[in-house]
Chains A and B, each alone.
Chain A
Amino acid sequence: MRVALSVACFDDALFPDTGKAVTALLERLGHEVEYPPGQTCCGQVHWTTGYHREAAALARAYAALFEGAAAVVAPSASCAAAVRDSYPRLARAARDPALARAAEGLAVYELTEFLVDVLGVTDVGAYFPHRVTYHPSCQAARVLGVGDRPLRLLRAVRGLDLVELPAAGECCGFGGAFAMKNSDVSVAMVADKVRHVRDTGADVVCAVDNSCLAHIGGALSRLRGGVRTMHLAEILAATGPA
């Protein structure tokens, strides 16, 4: 299958390993990965911060770029959620029916949805001998409803010791502009998240959103937390002794 990779601007600049891992993973599973040139930003930050005119322009460009792709895979739940959940709203707000139609035509999947639902795999042949906990980011869990797909994928990884994160469903406090505009509350929230992460004794906390991981990782780093943050894709891409 030909897969169009959608890499968030944030991941492009700060977490290039995520896109590389998705490429390696999908190619290992026998699929052809393409990275349509000209990608910039899905417009999510502008949309959620209230800059709806600017977001509409970015959304139109994104929809045009991925139009006709059989499957677009985004290793960022918040970008996938922006396209699937926000674009229709954005089109209504901008009174742009063409954008609404274009958005409806896009086959955008968050990575774990693509693996489990489209490819029908949960065992991707990964090997990762570490203790891992999973943070279900709000966009993945509540907006996309990815459910236990990430956990099913993680349980099939050889050598991986999956530990449950206490109060997993609680937001890490990132929230895009929230982390700046309400920095104090955001920090109070991530402090609790980090405490729960450390309580698990995990070596690695993973998620399907690098924005949340940057937030959790930024706080862990400041506290010299000793727990690494990793995108789920990087765990699934890891191989080792068969």
Chain B
Amino acid sequence: MTASSRRTTESSAGTRPGGGPVPLPTPKFASAARSALADTGLRRNLRGATAEARARTSAATAEAADWDALREAGRAIGDATLLNLDVHLEELERGVTGAGGVVHWAVDAAEAREVVTGLVRASGAKEVVKASSATLREIGLDAALARAGVTAYETAIADLVVGVGGDEPSHLLSPALHRDRAEIAELFRRTLPAAADLGDDPAGLAAAARAHLRDRLLRARVAVTGANFLVAETGTPVVLESEGNARMCLSLPDTLITVAGIDKVVPAWADLEVFLQLLPRAAGAGPMTPYAASWPGVTPGDGPRAFHLVLVDNGRTRALADEVGRAALRCVRCSACVNVCPVYERTGGRAYGPVYPGPIGAILTPQLRGVESAADASLPYASTLCGACADVCPVKIDIPGVLVHLRGAVVESRRRRPVPTPELALMRGLAWTMGDARRYETALRRSTRWARLLSRGGRIRRLPGLLGKWTEARDLPAPPAESFRAWWARRRP
């Protein structure tokens, strides 16, 4: 399957000339997943890459004898942080400001875009380098910079692949995971000037990407990055990475703009001893990622002369208000849940909407955006509740529990509609029937008779109505003439 045909099946944010991004109607998870399922090449790539990532995470976490104690500490620090978030944010601000940085606050994506665009414009730069960050994608920065006449260059290799391929990222940490080496080689040969003879060896492909991006990184005057953690006590942002592009972004340009959600705060410097162990291992990078960098505002003679930290809400306080759902704000974006999810493995990331894929996306996106749209409301249902995600989460987010909780929120929001959905009517009717043993027994006898009429050779091959989805690919056994309770009554009169 080619890039262009795949792209047409996916949703993406469009742009209105001179205005903000106009979200095109995003399809519901099931419809978005359908095209991914039909793409056998994509499914092969997903299967191979997620298996690789799962094996690395599993090896790295098995090797730490104190892994469960670290997870428990991570969970508890996360909860304690959220319960005191206002205090920590103010402390963070004092620390950054005291070290020569400037803190900006943005209530939503539009304000975050405006702040960053304004800062870039003030610097006079016509191009900026970016280090891969989901928060930057979330706020839709690139389009806003483009409207301001500024070109933004992604500097992570996977983002380069996504950029030249003209598609949407499909994974938080490995945005080009949906492409295999042959596809990437083909893309590079077509789009990178010095890569016409490139083979498909990953080391060679990485070298070509390095060579292509190096000049941009060396000449950049403004860098925009995300952050993995913001230490409140010391006013210190922390970035973990593997490729070294973020280190160049943090140390070469004159101006550094870091954009981070308010959920990235950790209270104390000493808390890093937990998260610097949890994140690398859960992400499958081994005991430690190749690089971890922290910096205090501005350091004379070392790195940028101006540092701006943009703190973004954009729905996080909405999630914070939900006592159950707020656990999602503990997320450290390791992607372990994504790599282990059997649903993600078959659909890829784009079915989950534009930014946060996999199980964490299924609980984060509906909280950041609400469940009013059909697409956002479909996300909590994009899971079998198998629980593999909760088992690997380094901060012990009970993802299945939050999914069920959010399903409740979806149903409550639908109850307020003047006309009940067919599902609501069905489920209420079912509950009414089940509410009384005699009603249940009558219904059981009736539906058994009815179902036996639909069956041939003891199998039902086609069911009508909402249940027809089942028999599209699966038979259902015909109910035996005698139910268990009928047998029991006959046996023990």
Other A-B contacts than A49-B427, A51-B408, A188-B37, 17 sampled, CB-CB below 8 A, are A12-B485, A16-B487, A41-B440, A48-B407, A51-B428, A93-B405, A181-B30, A182-B29, A183-B470, A184-B30, A184-B34, A185-B37, A187-B472, A188-B346, A189-B343, A214-B477, A219-B474
Specify which chain A residues have a CB less than 8 angstroms from the CB of B30 in the assembled complex: 181-185
Please give me the residue from chain A that is nearest to B414 by CB atom: A50
Size bin of chain B's contact surface: 35 or more
Pairwise interchain contact B431-A39, C-beta atoms closer than 8 A: no
Contact residue among A15, A40, A185 (Cβ-Cβ distance under 8 Å from B437): A40
Stretch at the interface among B189-197, B262-270, B385-393: B385-393
A–B Cβ pairs within 8 angstroms, 27 of them = A7-B484, A9-B440, A14-B479, A19-B487, A20-B487, A38-B437, A39-B437, A49-B411, A51-B427, A54-B430, A61-B435, A138-B384, A138-B386, A142-B386, A169-B388, A171-B388, A181-B30, A182-B29, A185-B347, A186-B384, A187-B474, A188-B43, A189-B342, A189-B343, A189-B384, A217-B477, A218-B474
Pairwise interchain contact A20-B484, C-beta atoms closer than 8 A: yes
Inter-chain CA distance A68–B410, complex, in Å, is 36
Write the B437-457 contact mask toward A (1 if CB under 8 angstroms, else 0). 100100010011000000000
Pairwise interchain contact B385-A170, C-beta atoms closer than 8 A: no
Q: Is B114 an interface residue (CB 8 A)?
A: no
> If A93-B405, A143-B387, A186-B384 touch, does A58 touch B483 (CB 8 Å cutoff)?
no
Pairwise interchain contact B474-A48, C-beta atoms closer than 8 A: no
Specify which chain A residues have a CB less than 8 angstroms from the CB of B381 in the assembled complex: 177-178, 181-182
Specify which chain B residues have a CB less than 8 angstroms from the CB of A170 in the assembled complex: 342, 388
Inter-chain CA distance A55–B428, complex, in Å, is 10
A54 CB, nearest partner CB in chain B, Å: 4
Contact residue among B342, B382, B488 (Cβ-Cβ distance under 8 Å from A35): B488
Query: Which positions 209-241 of chain A face chain B at CB distance < 8 Å?
Result: 214-215, 217-219, 221-222
Contact residue among A12, A89, A181 (Cβ-Cβ distance under 8 Å from B404): A89
Q: Is A30 an interface residue (CB 8 A)?
A: no
Specify which chain A residues have a CB less than 8 angstroms from the CB of B401 in the assembled complex: 89
Write the B395-409 contact mask toward A (1 if CB under 8 angstroms, else 0). 000000100111111
Pairwise interchain contact B387-A142, C-beta atoms closer than 8 A: yes
B217 CB, nearest partner CB in chain A, Å: 40
Secondary structure at the A interface, as helix, strand, loop or mixed, is helix
> If A19-B484, A175-B383 touch, does A180 touch B388 (CB 8 Å cutoff)?
no
Central interface residue in A12, A41, A43, by most chain B CB within 10 Å: A12
Which A residues fall within an 8 A CB radius of B?
7, 9, 11-20, 35, 37-41, 43, 45-52, 54-55, 57-58, 61, 86, 89, 93, 138, 142-143, 169-171, 173-190, 214-215, 217-219, 221-222
Central interface residue in B378, B386, B424, B431, by most chain A CB within 10 Å: B386
Inter-chain CA distance A7–B439, complex, in Å, is 17
Which B residues fall within an 8 A CB radius of A?
29-30, 33-34, 37, 43, 342-343, 346-347, 378, 380-388, 390-391, 401, 404-411, 424, 427-428, 430-431, 434-437, 440, 444, 447-448, 459, 461, 466-467, 469-470, 472-477, 479-480, 482-488, 492
B297 CB, nearest partner CB in chain A, Å: 43
Pairwise interchain contact A57-B435, C-beta atoms closer than 8 A: yes
Pairwise interchain contact A189-B346, C-beta atoms closer than 8 A: yes
Specify which chain B residues have a CB less than 8 angstroms from the CB of A14 in the assembled complex: 476-477, 479-480
> If A39-B437, A46-B431, A180-B469 touch, does A138 touch B387 (CB 8 Å cutoff)?
yes
A31 CB, nearest partner CB in chain B, Å: 15
Central interface residue in B43, B473, B492, by most chain A CB within 10 Å: B473
Contact residue among B37, B387, B391, B483 (Cβ-Cβ distance under 8 Å from A13): B483
Specify which chain B residues have a CB less than 8 angstroms from the CB of A186 in the assembled complex: 384
Contact residue among A40, A93, A222 (Cβ-Cβ distance under 8 Å from B475): A222
Pairwise interchain contact B436-A40, C-beta atoms closer than 8 A: yes
Pairwise interchain contact A214-B476, C-beta atoms closer than 8 A: yes
> If A11-B484, A189-B342 touch, does A180 touch B37 (CB 8 Å cutoff)?
no
Pairwise interchain contact B488-A222, C-beta atoms closer than 8 A: no
Pairwise interchain contact A48-B33, C-beta atoms closer than 8 A: no
Pairwise interchain contact A183-B472, C-beta atoms closer than 8 A: yes
Specify which chain A residues have a CB less than 8 angstroms from the CB of B409 in the assembled complex: 50
B109 CB, nearest partner CB in chain A, Å: 28
Inter-chain CA distance A86–B275, complex, in Å, is 30
A128 CB, nearest partner CB in chain B, Å: 21
Pairwise interchain contact A222-B343, C-beta atoms closer than 8 A: no
Specify which chain B residues have a CB less than 8 angstroms from the CB of A35 in the assembled complex: 485, 488, 492
Specify which chain A residues have a CB less than 8 angstroms from the CB of B408 in the assembled complex: 50-52, 93
